[in-house]
Amino acid sequence: LNFYGQIFELRPDVLKEKREDLLKLVGLAKVRRLTLKHYSKGMLERIG
């Protein structure tokens, strides 16, 4: 998400807000600090 925010030249404050909104939308806000090896199969499918 940070990578795409930088591509679209979003300000850091806007990027932070949008990143949090997107993580909440897909149900990953609570686990955003975990590495991928700790995610369930369903969460990995959401990520892509």
pLDDT, position 36? 81
Please give the distance of CA 26 from its chain centroid, rounded to a whole number: 8
pLDDT in tens, 2-42: 899 999 999 999 999 999 999 899 888 887 787 888 878 88
Neighbour-count burial of 5, counting CB atoms closer than 10 A to its CB (0-12 exposed, 13-18 middle, 19+ buried): middle
